């Protein structure tokens, strides 16, 4: 039984990181109707930049963290301006492909600069295990989860209670009405891309000590997407719940089936959910109009 709890707890930890990156997908989708295939690359870039600031420039961890998030956020805003804004009126397919193209460019550019070098992010908190109620934890995992939950919470408050956040929400619900009420759509989209890119970077930095840093680590970002779909892509609480659920399911699958097939399970789950109940487990159906 202890083992089951162990799997559950570490699955939840994974889930909190998925939630962080998953929310980035949800934010961009809600306001721009685009699924951002470069979100994973933003995550990867965040981890690599933070590593560079922390290890090579010897900045303190907090500064490296914030510096990396800000840089990646600015990159997101820049990409919105040069690549996605010109395509605002293009078909959705075109925009999705544009994010695919951007992701590929970032991935290959990193590979050119760094090679396929595998790096480890030095753990921020001690990794000596301790046991609580039969479940083994480390300060690293606990600290990571607390930080990511804190960030998710901060984001939700930001959307609910700040002017910019409410503008994002308004643009998500009705673009025309938002414009008429004085919300600048261009500015809102710019911010949306910036915030969700920074969010991905934060997820990347937090997750980096638990896995290894490679140019392909962005694939983990897509787990956030799957989790969000699982829970219900259109609602923020649904998406968060789905990400936690996915983390737990993956860990169960990793233990009871096979570690290598963990990713197969999560994508299989994605297909299943999309066929059986596309609005997600905790979500609501998108209103349909003819």
One residue of 33, 126, 154, 257 binding another protein per CB under 8 A: 33
CB of 144 to another protein, least distance (A): 26
Site string for another protein, 88-117 (x = CB under 8 A): --x-xxx-xxx-xxxxxx-xxx-xx-----
- Closest CB to another protein among residues 132, 271: 271
Kindly state whether residue 267 participates in binding another protein, applying the rule CB under 8 A: yes
CB 24 within 8 A of CB 46: no
One residue of 156, 263, 281, 282 binding another protein per CB under 8 A: 263
Alpha-carbon torsion 255, 18, 25, 110, what sign?
negative
CB 216 within 8 A of CB 60: no
CB 59 within 8 A of CB 241: no
Q: What are phi and psi of 222, to 5 degrees?
A: -65, -20
Kindly determine how many residues on this chain lie close enough to bind another protein according to the rule CB under 8 A. 45
- Closest CB to another protein among residues 183, 213: 213
Q: At 126, list the tokens.
A: 């001690």
| Alpha-carbon gap, residue 85 to 88, rounded angstroms | 5
Among 282, 278, 235, 281, residue whose Cα is nearest residue 30: 235
- Closest CB to another protein among residues 189, 225: 225
Q: Which stretch binds another protein (CB under 8 A): 51-59, 60-68, 196-204, 273-281?
A: 273-281
| Alpha-carbon gap, residue 199 to 21, rounded angstroms | 6
Q: Which residues bind another protein (CB under 8 A)?
A: 29, 33-35, 37, 83, 86-87, 90, 92-94, 96-98, 100-105, 107-109, 111-112, 219, 222, 225-226, 229, 233, 260-261, 263-264, 267-268, 270-271, 274-275, 278, 287, 290
């Amino acid at each position: 039984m202890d083992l089951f709890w162990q799997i559950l707890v570490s699955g939840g930890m994974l889930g909190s990181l998925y939630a962080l990156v998953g929310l980035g997908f949800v934010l961009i989708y809600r306001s721009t109707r685009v699924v951002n295939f470069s979100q994973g690359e933003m995550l990867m870039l965040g981890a690599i930049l933070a590593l560079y600031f922390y290890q090579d420039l010897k900045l303190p961890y907090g500064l490296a963290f914030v510096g990396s998030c800000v840089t990646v956020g600015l990159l997101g805003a820049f990409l919105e301006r040069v690549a996605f804004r010109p395509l605002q009126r293009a078909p959705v397919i075109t925009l999705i492909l544009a994010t695919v193209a951007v992701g590929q460019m970032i991935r290959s550019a990193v590979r050119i600069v760094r090679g396929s070098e595998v790096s480890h992010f030095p753990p921020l908190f001690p990794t000596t295990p301790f046991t609580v109620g039969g479940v083994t934890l480390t300060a690293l995992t606990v600290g990571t989860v607390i930080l990511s939950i804190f960030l998710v919470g901060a984001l939700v408050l930001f959307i609910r209670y700040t002017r910019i956040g409410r503008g994002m929400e308004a643009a998500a619900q009705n673009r025309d009405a938002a414009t008429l009420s004085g919300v600048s759509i261009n500015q809102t989209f710019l911010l949306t891309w910036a915030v969700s890119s920074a969010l991905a970077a934060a997820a990347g930095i937090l997750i980096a000590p638990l896995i290894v840093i490679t140019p392909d680590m962005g694939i983990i970002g897509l787990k956030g997407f799957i989790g969000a779909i699982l829970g219900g892509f259109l609602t923020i609480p649904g998406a968060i719940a789905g990400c936690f659920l996915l983390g737990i399911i993956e860990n169960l699958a990793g233990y009871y089936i096979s570690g290598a097939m963990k990713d197969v399970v999560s994508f299989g789950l994605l297909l299943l959910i999309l066929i059986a109940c596309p609005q997600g487990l905790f979500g609501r159906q998108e209103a349909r109009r003819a």
